[in-house]
Amino acid sequence: MSVPAGSTNARPAARRRRRRSGLPQVPWVWVLPALVLVLLLRYVATAAGGWYAFTDWNGISREAQFIGLDNFREILDNPASRGALENTIVLAVTFVVAANVIGLLLALALHRTLKTRILLRALFFAPVVMSSLAVSYIWQFIFSYTGPLNRFLDAVGLDSWQRAWTGDPTWALWTIFVVLVWQFAGLAMVMYLSGLAGIPEELDEAAAVDGASTLRRFRTITLPLLAPAFTVSVTLSLVYGLGVFDQVLALTGGGPVDASETLATQIYKQTFAFGRYGYGAALSLILTVLITAMALAQLAVLRYRERRI
């Protein structure tokens, strides 16, 4: 045995090797199936999609023509696509705020004390497990001209507010917003509840004995310690909101006159209905950049906070 005496790393490494010798190495072959799937379907496909975004490929012809930024120029010129981009951002941002505020409030209300909190949590969480396409039809009925919402407005004397909500250019987008929040708030609640459960009750008690009022305890103890839950919930809702599709298709179909198109519905329509694969890929690239940028920004904030705690 000739172990170089000067090397400080030599000894732990040797020990590690010896410790391992009892077990044969796990063969690399075992990673292959998963690896091949992910390499092909995620990496290669994404790279190819990035290339198609700059072509005019129609999905059928053997070759695709490189057309530079033409697709992107058209996205900005085409009212449907440009509207879709704007709608997606507006919808995602408002949805993230609303779903997280409601989810956080629900979590705070249902964290302790209430006798029926388990039941109530289940009631608010239930929509999360439902097919968002299927539940959207219930909401389409609620928002329909002869539906419950208008009847309710009539009953309380606000009949002038009545309208075909999903067919109204201004309101169509907001019906999607309502369904999104209704379905997602329960999930945000559960994430905040698990964040709250991770804060020792003692800290709250200590702060109370230290003389902090309820509001101050929430602001200086609960909220900062909830930061990780915030990041996760906000990131997840952002990704969900930016990719919204099912609700749009069921409630408005993107209408009226493209007023409620989103990037995902545009990708679907342009690619698979109109056969404009290159254009669809360009839309996908925009969506991908949006999602990645937002997710990375969130992740950076998380890391920053983690280092601080």
216 sits near another protein (criterion: CB under 8 A): yes
x-or-dash string of contact with another protein, 152-191, rule CB under 8 A? ------------------------------x----x--xx
147 sits near another protein (criterion: CB under 8 A): yes
304 sits near another protein (criterion: CB under 8 A): no
CB atoms < 10 A from the CB of 234, how many? 20
Q: Where are the alpha helices (DSSP H) in 110-221?
A: 117-125, 132-143, 148-155, 172-197, 201-209, 214-217
Residue 86 is which amino acid? E
139 sits near another protein (criterion: CB under 8 A): yes
State the DSSP code for 62.
S
The span of 34-42, 75-83, 84-92, 165-173 binding another protein (CB under 8 A) equals: 34-42
Number of residues lying near another protein (CB under 8 A): 114
Question: CA 196 to CA 209: how far, in whole Å?
Answer: 20
In degrees to the nearest 10, what's the CA dihedral of 73, 78, 84, 86? Answer: 70
SS3 string, 210-279, reads CCCCHHHHHHHHHHHHCHHHHHHHHHHHHHHHHCCCHHHHHHCCCCCCCCCCCHHHHHHHHHHHCCCHHH
The span of 4-12, 85-93, 147-155, 160-168 binding another protein (CB under 8 A) equals: 147-155
The span of 47-55, 80-88, 91-99, 164-172 binding another protein (CB under 8 A) equals: 47-55
The conformational region for residue 14 under phi > 0 = left, psi -120 to 50 = alpha, else beta, is alpha
The span of 3-11, 68-76, 161-169, 293-301 binding another protein (CB under 8 A) equals: 293-301
Q: At closest approach, how far in Å is the CB of 269 from another protein?
A: 11
C-beta of 3 vs 37, nearer to another protein:
37
x-or-dash string of contact with another protein, 96-115, rule CB under 8 A? -------------xx-xxxx
219 sits near another protein (criterion: CB under 8 A): no
